[in-house]
Chain A
Amino acid sequence: GAGVSQSPRYKVTKRGQDVALRCDPISGHVSLYWYRQALGQGPEFLTYFNYEAQQDKSGLPNDRFSAERPEGSISTLTIQRTEQRDSAMYRCASRGGGPQYFGPGTRLTVL
């Protein structure tokens, strides 16, 4: 694809609901990363995949957060039982051996 795409671009949900955020990386990129960005801050690492294997999930805040990339392409970040503190911009990036290229992000608002 031309770039990294993410959907939805905006998600508003009520506290306690589950949400699923999707990332479609640049075609052929082996590595896929998830970050969370608070207002006025740089992105913070959550987790990453090489192909379909989740190599590191040390940045996931707690066990309500999970991610998968079952076929080594599209990835889904799932947040269960959302809380207001989960409100943030969630960004995905992919890498094919050089720099990481970022998607437009999903802005999640938990009411």
Chain B
Amino acid sequence: EDKVVQSPLSLVVHEGDTVTLNCSYEVTNFRSLLWYKQEKKAPTFLFMLTSSGIEKKSGRLSSILDKKELFSILNITATQTGDSAVYLCAVFIIQGAQKLVFGQGTRLTINP
């Protein structure tokens, strides 16, 4: 059974801290791994990773994929209260069908 596991499930830090969110997966027919940020509305796309070892960066956020060890991390530096959200990791699989398999999410709270 395809499985995506995120850790920690919940994290509370102070503004300015750096956080690392983890995502491990066991799936067949891996195509890519995606990170989304979800506040009170639609999940917002952050990164799509297909190759191992290549860091993707957008401002204070960065992510990297390790296809040998089957995990990805999402780093957020100099956190701000606006970073508070649920961060979802999902793996896009193609086996005839195509679908995203999501983890449970990490609820990140940034305190001022």
Cross-chain contact B97 with A48 (CB below 8 angstroms): yes
Number of A-B residue pairs, CB cutoff 8 Å, is: 59
Choose, from A13-21, A64-72, A76-84, A95-103, the stretch at the interface. A95-103
Cross-chain contact A41 with B42 (CB below 8 angstroms): no
Which residues of A sit under 8 angstroms from B45, Cβ to Cβ? Answer: 99-102
Choose, from B57-65, B76-84, B99-107, the stretch at the interface. B99-107
Of the candidates A43, A45, A55, which one forms a contact with B43 in the assembled complex, judged by CB atoms under 8 Å apart?
Answer: A43
Of the candidates B48, B92, B97, B105, which one forms a contact with A58 in the assembled complex, judged by CB atoms under 8 Å apart?
Answer: B97
Which residues of B sit under 8 angstroms from A105, Cβ to Cβ? Answer: 41-42
Cross-chain contact A40 with B43 (CB below 8 angstroms): no
Cross-chain contact B90 with A98 (CB below 8 angstroms): no
Whether a CB of chain A sits under 8 angstroms from the CB of B96 is yes
Nearest A-chain residue to B95, judged by Cβ: A56
Given A91-B42, A99-B48, A102-B42, the answer on whether A45 and B99 have CB atoms closer than 8 Å is yes
Whether a CB of chain B sits under 8 angstroms from the CB of A90 is no
Cross-chain contact B104 with A40 (CB below 8 angstroms): yes
Cross-chain contact B97 with A33 (CB below 8 angstroms): no
Whether a CB of chain A sits under 8 angstroms from the CB of B73 is no
Cross-chain contact A59 with B99 (CB below 8 angstroms): yes
Docked complex Cα distance between A4 and B45 (Å): 13
Of the candidates B48, B88, B92, B98, which one forms a contact with A55 in the assembled complex, judged by CB atoms under 8 Å apart?
Answer: B98
Docked complex Cα distance between A43 and B92 (Å): 13
Q: How near does chain A come to B24, taking the closest CB pair, in angstroms?
A: 14
Which residues of B sit under 8 angstroms from A56, Cβ to Cβ? Answer: 96-99
Nearest B-chain residue to A31, judged by Cβ: B98
Which residues of A sit under 8 angstroms from B90, Cβ to Cβ? Answer: 42
Task: Mark each residue of chain A from 38 to 61: 1 if its CB lies under 8 Å from any CB of chain B, else 0.
Answer: 001111110010000001101100
Interface pairs (15), CB distance under 8 Å = A31-B98, A42-B102, A42-B104, A42-B105, A43-B43, A43-B102, A48-B97, A48-B98, A58-B97, A59-B99, A102-B36, A102-B43, A103-B42, A104-B41, A105-B41
